[in-house]
Every structure is written in structure tokens, then in C-alpha cells.
Amino acid sequence: MKKLLKQLTETFAPSGYEDEIRKLVRAEVEPLADEIQVDALGSLIVRKKPTKPSKASKKIMIAAHMDEIGLMVSHVDERGFVRFSPIGGVFGKYVHGGRVRFLNGVQGVIGYDRFDKTHEAPPLDKVFIDVGATSPKDCPVKVGDVAAFDRPFIEMGDRLVAKSMDDRVGVLVAIEALRALQSTPHDVYFVFTTQEEVGVRGATTSAFGIDPDLGIALDVTPAADTPDAAKMAMALGKGPCIKIKDAGALSDPRVVQWMIRTAEKNNIPYQREVLLFGGTDARAMQSARAGVPAGCISVATRYVHSPSEMVDYADVQNSVKLLIALLRAPIDLE
């Protein structure tokens, strides 16, 4: 799992430019799929058919987004410094001194030259990318080129750190659950979605096409276990988080209780999640067509949307166990 997570997180695929991560995921899941397709927005849809179809079988959509936050060149000045527009939630407090890699392989360093404000998070319109150029003529990138943060995957004991844990860790959970799911009474669609970071767009179109009976998003959630963190319950090492609410969706209470019952029955540690900000693909599934009961399993993550997002390995393993347990058994939401 760690080897695959390293491959997933070190692949560059900002929102709208998910080709490389889709190739990697497809290579992993194609041997496991009963059907596989790519939809018009680039989401990879992997179907696992029910072992013994019955009236109790449900069509379930599992959504984990492949994309990551990124940067797009908006201007190159006369000295070759690159200005950019954010793709998704890029925060000023994380960018200064950061390294980026463009999809064409060019690397750059994000700079900010206001030394009188070194203790402040710089606004994004005041920072720039230095790619070693001296003018627009020798600049190796142009307006419209796309980059993502450039940091390697590292292990710190039981803690794993990388850029794009959001949401490659959810992608990993989906792949490993699919790999371990020998049989299921349900018609399960594992969907590796696109453009979540810019408005859950891939999940919106995929959910419309699949028209599921039930939706489960797999994503990260900000941990609140660091000094002076927001007053929330999520922490590293205490199990997968069962989402009850975030800024984008209220999880269906029946789905929440089903997840909790399943975790307790299988002795899987879990946390109750109420997130004060942000959202997931669950919002798109919940409001698809005539509406879908939906929920979310989250992996608590420190430093979300930074180049060094941190998760606990046991939380990842237990998230896989919980998802497998949910999909193996008949579902009664009453």
C-alpha cells in the first residue's frame, strides 16, 4: 500500500489535467474490473458487479477524486518571472519558498520579495514563480501552462507525508478495497473523479450517468489535533472519520448510522466528523437527479492543501477495512 501511495502522490495531475494519474489508476484496477470506462469529464468508472444479483442489491457509487490543487501561468513579465492563477484552494501561507513542477517537466520556486512582511502569508497576486528565466523569450513555460507542488513522499514512523494526499489517499483506499472485495451483493461503481478541487464537477456528471441508490465519498478531512487547531474532533491515529456534516453536505443520517454500526460490529475504530469548512464529492452525489442518500469516509490529515499533507498509516488501513465491510454485506438503511 505504501509503495502505491508513493506512486499516486508523486504523480502530477491538477484539476482538469488528470491524464497521468488516470493511467496509473487504470493500470491498477483494470484486472479487477467487470467493466471500465472513462466519461466525458475524464472520470474513471470501474464496475464491480454483484456476485448474486437480487432485489436487495443496491447500485452504489464510491467516489474518490484523482485531481489535486495546482497553478496555471497567467503572465510572464519582462524579467521572466511567472505569475499564476490558482487551480483550487491554494493558500498563501503554504506557497512561499515552495517548489512546483509543470506538466512539461519544468521546475520552479515560488518567491515573494517583501522582506518587511516575512511573518505574513503573502497574497497570491504578490508572489511569483522563478523558473530560472531572464525574459519571456527564454522562459520555458507560457500562459496557460499548469503546475503542481513538487515534494517527495516520505515516511515518519507511522505518519506518511506527501503532496496530494488530498485525495490520492482516498484513491488508494478505493483501489485496495476493490482489490480485496472478492464478492459483494451489490452493483458497485468505483469512480475516480476529476475536477473535485474546482467544484466537484467530475462527481456531478458521473453521478448523473450512474444514477446510484447510494453514494459514498472517500476523501481527507483536516485534523484538529495540532496546537491551536480549530475546535473539531478529528485526529490522526484514531480511525477513519465518518462524516456527519461539512460546508457542502449533510450526510444522510441513515448512512451515518449504517457506517457506525458496521465499524462497531467489525471492531474498527472510527471518529465522528463535523467539519467546519470544505466539502467533498458527497455533495454532488447527494443532489444528483432526484437525490441520493450519501455519506463520506474521511482520512484525518494535517496541513491540508499544503505541499506536505500528513496521514496516519493505521487510519488508511482501517478506512480500507471499513469500506470492505460496508460493501460485503446486505444494506438496510431503514
Residues annotated catalytic, as ranges: 196
Alpha helices in the chain (DSSP H): 2-9, 19-29, 92-95, 165-180, 201-210, 253-265, 282-286, 313-328
User: Please, what's the largest Cα pairwise distance for the chain?
Assistant: 68
- Identify residue 46 by its one-letter amino acid code: V
Q: Which helix (H) or strand (E) holds 216?
A: strand 214-222
**Helix ranges (DSSP H) in 194-233:** 201-210
Residue 22, classed as helix, strand or coil, is helix
The distance from CA 333 to its chain's CA centroid, rounded to whole angstroms, is: 27
DSSP 250: B
Q: What are phi and psi of 146, to 5 degrees?
A: -120, 140
Phi and psi at 95, nearest 5°, equal: -90, -35
- Residue linked to cell 471492531: 267
Q: Are the C-beta atoms of 331 and 187 separated by less than 8 Å?
A: no
DSSP state of 302: B
Q: Please give the Cα distance from 10 to 38 (Å, whole number).
A: 22
- The set of residues, in sequence order, having a beta carbon less than 8 Å from that of 115 and lying 6+ positions away, is none
Number of H helices, E strands in the chain: 8, 17
Buried b or exposed e, range 17-32, using 16+ CB within 10 angstroms: bbeebbebbeebbeee
**Cis peptide bond N-terminal to 125, omega within 30:** no
